[in-house]
Structure 1
Amino acid sequence: MIEYAHIHHVSLAVRDLEIAKKFYSGLLGMQEIERPAFRSTGTWYAIGSQQLHLLQHPEGHTLREAGIDTTDGHFAIWVTSYSGTIAWLEQQGIEYEARPDSVAGFAQIFVLDPDRNIIEFDSSYNS
């Protein structure tokens, strides 16, 4: 049997790495970390003890073209403040879909990156 410890990273395909970095580094303020010298083009971010890897597809392909659809593949990040995250997204001009009373049992906020990858921010109701 496999003994799982935790998720190490999530990788997303992006069309243009520089546009993606402006979103993740600039607008979301994620911390870029060192990436090995792979032959592929990409960048890595630290999210707590896990990582987000952005990989520029050599032919410019990504998987999604549609808007926010939470039944599509996505990744979720637990944040410490629901209201603070909403305020930051609004300050940065990032469109979002908020579900403060989600049936999930915690508040959810969904955004799209420039390549239409879905990012979910989760937090307790009263934060």
Structure 2
Amino acid sequence: MSTIRGIHHVQITIPRGSEELARTFYCELLGLQEVEKPVSLQGRGGFWLQSGSQQIHVGTEDGVERLATKAHIAYAVDDIETWKQRLAEQGFAILDGIPIPGYTRFETRDPFGNRMEFIQAL
């Protein structure tokens, strides 16, 4: 039987032309590393990030209501209070997540409305 071995990447979207603001948020504030997209995809806008062994592909598209979806990325962190403080200091709303046994978590939205969860094992 063939099995799924893991997650290679996830994709989020930002409005066309917002790459520099997204790089400031994802690379500078969150500290994610940008990796080069294949030449065959470079003309499509957006960029790729590395987080551990997974990638986050930041694509561009207009006409999407990102605030209307539950879709999200959950970032596993080792110091959730630091992340709460860092994001709150930058003006991002911090919302407590519904409790999950064995974890503490919160959620927020990136500058484009994409939902993000930060989660830490207790």
TM-score of the aligned structures, taking structure 2 as reference length: 0.83
- How many residue pairs were aligned? 118
* 4+ residue runs over 4 A deviation: none
Matches within 5 A, 1:73-112: 73-99=71-97, 102-112=99-109
SS of 1:25's equivalent in the other structure is helix
The answer on whether the counterparts of 2:67 and 2:115 sit within 8 Å (CA) in structure 1 is no
- Higher share in helix: 2
Partner of 1:23: 25
Partner of 2:50: 46
> What percentage of aligned pairs have identical amino acids?
31
Measured in 2, the distance between the counterparts of 1:65 and 1:103 equals 23
* Alpha-carbon displacement from aligned partner over 1:92-126 (angstroms, at most 9, x marks no partner): 33322134x8135311121101221111111023x
SS of 1:65's equivalent in the other structure is helix
The answer on whether the counterparts of 1:108 and 1:122 sit within 8 Å (CA) in structure 2 is yes
Partner of 2:111: 114
The answer for unaligned runs of 5 or more in structure 2 is none
Over the aligned positions, Cα root-mean-square deviation in angstroms equals 2.0
